[in-house]
Amino acid sequence: MGIKLILEKFDKTKPLITYFMAGYPDIEKSLKTGESLIQNGADILEIGVPFSDPVADGKTIQVAHEKAVKDGITILDVLNITEEIKKKYPSTPVILMAYYNPIFVYGEYKFIKLAKEKGVDGLIVPDLPPEEAKDLKKLTDENDISLIFLLAPTSPMERIELVGSLTNSFIYYVSLTGITGAREELPWEELENKVRLIKEITKRRVAVGFGVSKREHTERLSRIADGVVVGSAIVKLQGKSDLNGISNLIKELKSGLIGS
């Protein structure tokens, strides 16, 4: 289903996109986390691929990366987790969030082919600039996987236009300058202005992430954006194997989404 499956979610609702780390605190518990997210209302799963130098991530997700890397979690482990989830929930889009180095070492062609076989619908590579993504974009297009690009408060007009031209599902807008992590407050006025500008220029759907941690955030963001991404708040509970906490969090966040 690939790109079409992601687009269908945005057509039907303002999706709640939920991030968790593959293999953290172990493979079986991370699989249960992914399943719990879907069971409690997540519309799209974003699965983190462990890496030793996750420069875009804050402390909570860095700890998850470090633990999974130390435990030897591989790309194949991540894709096998994806496959297990897709077998049970084929209508839920799965997006991998992977830094470029592991993809490069594994081999772009081999990685994308295997990702397709395992049921991956989308891919985010936070440290790969769109200007340098030509080869990977060609491979993802050929395999019906959406390569999703990030924009930030500091993104210039040229970058916004370029990302708009490359996007075939949605644009991921990073709400804050800096690293991931749950926040009490978000820069609402700047967010509203920038998301409106991006949508006007690109004519693409925009999902907002970084800092989202409570119902107030999803409610306000869903008035501005087409979807909402939450990560660190989930990973914090994931590290404690707190499935009950994850269930309550997702239900709370989902309840705030207008049009969901």
The answer to whether 135 is a known catalytic residue is no
Element (H, E) at 32: helix 27-39
Please give the backbone phi and psi of residue 65, each rounded to the nearest 5 degrees, phi first.
-55, -50
Pairing of strands 227-230, 170-174: unpaired
Q: Hey, is 63 helix, strand or coil?
A: helix
Which tokens hold the place of 72? Answer: 């030897």
- Residue in the structure block whose two tokens are 């509970």: 237
Annotated catalytic residue: which of 35, 43, 46, 132?
46
Give the whole-angstrom CA distance, residue 173 versus residue 160.
10
Pairing of strands 16-21, 227-230: parallel
The answer to whether 216 is a known catalytic residue is no
Which tokens hold the place of 221? Answer: 């963001």
Instruction: Check if the beta carbon of residue 259 is closer than 8 Å to that of residue 222.
Output: yes
Annotated catalytic residue: which of 8, 26, 28, 57?
57
Residue 106 CB coordination number (10 Å): 17
Instruction: Check if the beta carbon of residue 63 is closer than 8 Å to that of residue 239.
Output: yes
Contacts for 209 with CB less than 8 Å, ≥ 6 apart: 17, 19, 172, 173, 174, 175, 180, 228, 229, 230, 231
Catalytic residues: 46, 57
